[in-house]
Structure 1
Amino acid sequence: MATTHDTIRGTAAGTAPVPLSVLDLATVGTGLTATDALRTSAELARSAERLGFHRFWVAEHHSMPGVASSSPAVILAYLAAHTDRIRLGSGGVMLPNHAPLVIAEQFGTLEAMAPGRIDLGLGRAPGTDGATAAALRRTDRLEEGADEFPQQLAELIRFLDDDFPDGHPYRRIHAVPGPIQATAPGGVQSPARPPVWLLGSSGFSARLAGMLGLPFAFAHHFSAANTIPALDLYRESFRASAVLQEPYALIGVSALASEDEKEARRQVLTGALSMVRLRTGRPGLIPSPEEAEAYEFSPVEREFVDSWLSNVVHGTAEEVRDGLDALAKRTGADELMITANTHTPAARLRSYELIAEAYGLPGSGAR
């Protein structure tokens, strides 16, 4: 396996206790188009690279009007063309929705486009509702796909490494671009292949990542109650591998900084209202701050919003820095991946600038 420890582990910069990265969902707000959202993603990726963030990931979602990231591999190719150094990856690709060979080919292509910069994060959830998942997989036996995840993962890794054993039905099938090209006359071995990460919001992938010695990314931003139990399970289950000698856990966290605390609250309320609508079967575009302020929440919705926002780190840059520091200390996470799924592109861009300045990241200009 050509993956090295350095392709996984980041180096904290400035005063950040752990490396800081970015997760972007290419959110589409009211009054905006998918084109606007994807151009914002490219601008965010360029800004994250300039500021000194470690990675920039996108995530697979389907049938959600407010999220334009249904095709991570396509978006990552677009982002690779707009950046030079920052690591790019999926947070994640929902493996049961796809044939492992297709993912190996897509990410082999991405690795060829941006050598040494691609991460392959994998999840076993559908990234959507059951009906849409059935349409994606052309079956209504969705439990089967989740149950087969370990076998699908093993098959994908075999394709990435091109090492099916003799006698295997796929022994003569090769993911291209990939290692097989090095064995052809005049072929040259690529220096690396995308490191595989497992993603999760519960204990299943945490245990599997630990047993396989893979890096693990946990969705704290929407499953905060499970964060510490899942990380504990990952660390307890961990077995050293050719990829990692010790556990490496990243957590996704919702965070938004503004010059004004009230403005930060105003911006994150748009994401909270969007989640209310999603959880009640009314998915739509991300509402504007004005729409969120004017919305009359029912008592049940208000309770949900208060609970949701309690896990969103927001406020001034200093308040967000303190909140992220506390979260890193409480969870022992090796890396924090920040997501800001709000309506206003300028607010998201400014938030990452303020967070970078608060930590003195290399490109922030702060000292």
Structure 2
Amino acid sequence: MRAAARGAAPVPLSVLDLVTVGRGSTAAEALATSVSLARLAERRGYHRHWVAEHHSMPGVASSSPAVILAHLAAHTRRIRLGSGGVMLPNHAPLVVAEQFGTLEALAPGRVDLGLGRAPGTDGATAAALRRTATPGEGADDFPRQLAELVAFLDDDVPTGHRYAGIHAVPGPVQGPQGRPPVWLLGSSGFSARLAGESGLPFAFAHHFSARNTLPALELYRSSFRPSAVLETPYALVGVSALAAEDAGEARRQVLTGALSMLRLRAGRPGLIPTPEEAEAYPFGAVEREFVDRWLADVVYGTPDEVRAGLDELQGRTGADELMLTANVHSGAARLRSYELVADAYGFAGSASGSGAQAS
């Protein structure tokens, strides 16, 4: 891959954090790494730091985004913090409105509420989360749940609604309390169309649904209707990326994430394996094919190679923002990667982000 010339990033770069737990490590250590990552991201000029909701996955310690975000807010001052995302069918909309109203009160003007319609887990765990306790309430009921959540966030539940007179606290009912901007997340066309028709910013999960990226972004842009939130579409693209000083070391690291995903897809989730375990794993032909396909959508290598890959993805998708995730065994490797990418783009040590924003 051709080395890229140094210079400013074409769009803002952000961080997606799954709070990954490597073999031989603990959730407590992974959460401490997340604090270090948020501080690094703020210091080096990344625009946002989002945390994703997942359940029943030993290698992912981000089952409670609101709790983690409150902790990160206490350890940062400027960077935007948010959910990438909260899986709305897992929660009562009022609870989400209260949690993120509280976060907004703790970190005014810095909180994003990204929402997804998938459970973020397997079917049995989804049932344990009480997603289907009420008939008709689930992923297919997402538009109604979204409208209800927005009404609570705005303290604008219409007269005659079954929840009229109920207020999300903290929230606008207290006075000039702001409310977090709502984003829709997706890996297919459903949320892309809904985000466009609702005039909301849209984040696409290219890191695990690369084949759907361009169709979903086209659908989002073609269905977009201006709103009080946005006059024009704003598309964020999430991408797996890892930089290391040596390209061989970068591949060695990303192979740990690929093996972890292989095991997850096979119904055997666990801690992120070590590089030694991944290198020694006896991949069968079908497994090797899966891993090769997976790694084809990961941007990895030297800092200049990663920069070239990110620039190519941005140019191909027209993304207004790129959000980088690095789900590998080593927390130190993840932190070093974000430093190297910042160096490749010439980010200042104390910058707070630049370029277009949807905030």
Common topology (TM > 0.5) = yes
Q: Distance in 2 between matches of 1:206 and 1:167?
A: 31
What SS is found at the alignment partner of 2:129? Answer: helix
Match of 2:223 among 237, 240, 247: 237
Paired residue for 1:252? Answer: 238
Q: Give me the whole-angstrom Cα distance separating, in 2, the residues matched to 1:75 and 1:144.
A: 26
1:60 aligns with 2:53: yes
Tell me the distance in 1 between the aligned counterparts of 2:214 and 2:272: 30
Long gaps (5+) in structure 1: 1-12, 183-188
Identity of aligned residues (%): 78
CA shift in 2, pair 1:344/1:364, >3 Å = farther
1:279-298 equivalences under 5 Å are: 279-298=265-284
Moved more, 160-169 or 73-82: 160-169
Match of 1:211 in 2: 197
Once residues 238 and 73 of structure 2 are traced to their aligned partners in structure 1, the CA distance between those partners, rounded to angstroms, is 22
Contact 2:131–2:137 (Cα < 8 Å) also in 1: no
C-alpha displacement at 1:143, in angstroms?
7.5
Contact preservation (8 Å) 1:29, 1:286: yes
Q: Does the 8 Å contact 2:239/2:325 carry over to 1?
A: yes
Structure 1 residues 318 and 97: alpha-carbon distance in aligned structure 2, compared to 1, 3 A threshold? same
Q: How does 1:346-365 map to 2 (within 5 A)?
A: 346-363=332-349
Q: Which amino acid aligns with 1:346?
A: A
The answer (yes or no) to whether the contact 1:356–1:364 under 8 Å persists in 2 is no
The answer on 1:172 being equivalent to 2:165 is yes
- Segments of structure 2 that go 5 or more residues without pairing to the other structure are 1-5, 352-359
Q: Distance between the aligned counterparts of 2:134 and 2:203, measured in 1?
A: 27
8 Å contact 2:83–2:114 — kept in the other structure? yes
After superposition, give the CA deviation of every residue in 1:45-90 in whole Å (9 maximum; x if it has no partner). 0000000000000000000000000000000001001111000000
> Which of residues 99, 102, 105 in structure 2 aligns to 1:109?
102
**One-letter amino acid of the structure 1 residue matched with residue 81 of structure 2:** L
Say yes or no: does 1:195 pair with 2:181: yes
Q: Distance in 1 between matches of 2:204 and 2:128?
A: 27
Contact 1:40 1:345 survives alignment (8 Å): yes
Write the deviation string for residues 146-166 of structure 1: whole angstroms up to 9, x where unpaired. 111000000000000001122
Summarize the Cα distance change of 1:14–1:77 in structure 2 as closer, same or farther, 3 Å threshold.
farther
- Partner amino acid for 1:57? W
Of residues 34, 45, 48, the one that matches 2:41 is 48
Equivalent in 180, 187, 212 of residue 226 of structure 1:
212
CA RMSD of aligned residues (A): 1.5
Other-structure match for 1:334: 320
Determine whether 1:305 maps to 2:291: yes
1:303 is aligned with what amino acid? E
Q: Which residue of 2 aligns with 1:343?
A: 329
Please show how residues 38-187 of structure 1 align to structure 2 within 5 Å: 38-137=31-130, 139=132, 144-182=137-175
Aligned partners of 2:236, 2:123: CA distance in 1, in Å?
28
Moved over 6 A (4+): 140-143
Q: How far, CA to CA, are the matches of 1:225 and 1:168 in structure 2?
A: 41
> What amino acid is the match of 2:339?
E
